Amino acid sequence: MNNLTQFDLKLLQVFRTVVECGGFTAAETSLNITRSTISIHIANLEQRLKLRLCHRGRQGFALTQEGQQIYNGILQLGEAQQHFSRLVASLDNQLSGELVVLSSDQLPPSRLSWLAKVIDRLAEVAPELELCLDTAPLQHIELAMLRDEAHLGLMPGYRQIDGLSYQPLFSTPIYLCCAQGHPLFERPDAEIDDALLASYPAIYPGVDIDPAGRAQLQKLTPKAKAYQFDTRLALLLSGRYLGYLPEELAKPYQQTAQGPRLRFIKPQHYQYAFRQSLVRKQNPKEQTKVQLAFELFHAMMDS
């Protein structure tokens, strides 16, 4: 269950009621449905979660360990929804003016779909807001938030600046690649090692990254610089360089009508996580606007 639907939320609410009533029979009155219907709902939920949530039968109702964890998660979800509702209700005046969100990286299609949902929800709860979305270098985003020129940033959280608050948002594995025309393109993985990789020019991001990524890049010989993945892809497709890309960007070039143009090199070995955080100023000038947007961005990531 990667994304919660309204049906999922309904099933979770049924499960919560059953737990709090102490069993299926006791929950019939609260839910106003029959025991057999409750049983079907719980079975559907277990199937969707691929987990056994509870024991039921002659010995009575009892949660499994996984069921207890799911119940705890439902309580946390309910608290988050209540907190967000209170936040919206507490706004004395309708929010208006610009909401500036800056991203240090171009988002892949899957993240763009998430961002579209965030924008739709923002337009619903604060229709007078004028949303301003753009990409900018890391240093520019940090400075813009510290100066209250931007409200939120989507950026790697490995370098944390005093005065900013970082909330991990998502993590994407990126893999070492080379393209058709590169000497290693046809070379079997079994023949490739650190020493061989170091003998070829490679692309580096040009900024400091987290320790895991640093350890991988230290095995390579930097000869070209490209932070954004699309410009990094262009360098790779020249066939002259090694470099790291996320699977979503590389995949179209791994399977083409003319055959593969890009390959991963020992993907289980040469990879690291590219992590991004949702960042805000700790004490922003427009606190209510920032808090609302921050809560919404994070809530939609879990939906």
- For residue 78, what is the domain's CATH number? 1.10.10.10
- Sequence-distant (≥ 6) Cβ neighbours of residue 105 within 8 angstroms: 135, 154, 155, 228, 229, 276
Please report whether residue 1 resides in a domain.
Answer: no
User: pLDDT category, 89, cuts 50, 70, 90?
Assistant: low
Do 83 and 151 lie in a common domain? no
Do 103 and 85 lie in a common domain? no
Backbone phi, psi, residue 279, to 5° = -120, 140
Q: What is the pLDDT of residue 302?
A: 59
Q: What is the pLDDT averaged over residues 227-233? A: 90
Alpha-carbon dihedral 98, 104, 110, 113, rounded to 10 degrees: 10
Please report whether residue 226 resides in a domain.
Answer: yes
* Percentage of residues of the chain with pLDDT beyond 90: 51
Q: What is the pLDDT of residue 107?
A: 76
Do 63 and 71 meet the contact criterion of CB atoms below 8 Å apart? yes
Domain interval for residue 119: 97-167+276-301
Looking at every residue in the chain, the average pLDDT score rounds to: 88
Q: What is the pLDDT of residue 159?
A: 79
Q: Which secondary-structure segment (H or E) carries 275?
A: strand 271-281
Cα dist from 199 to 86, 111, 244, whole Å: 59, 35, 16
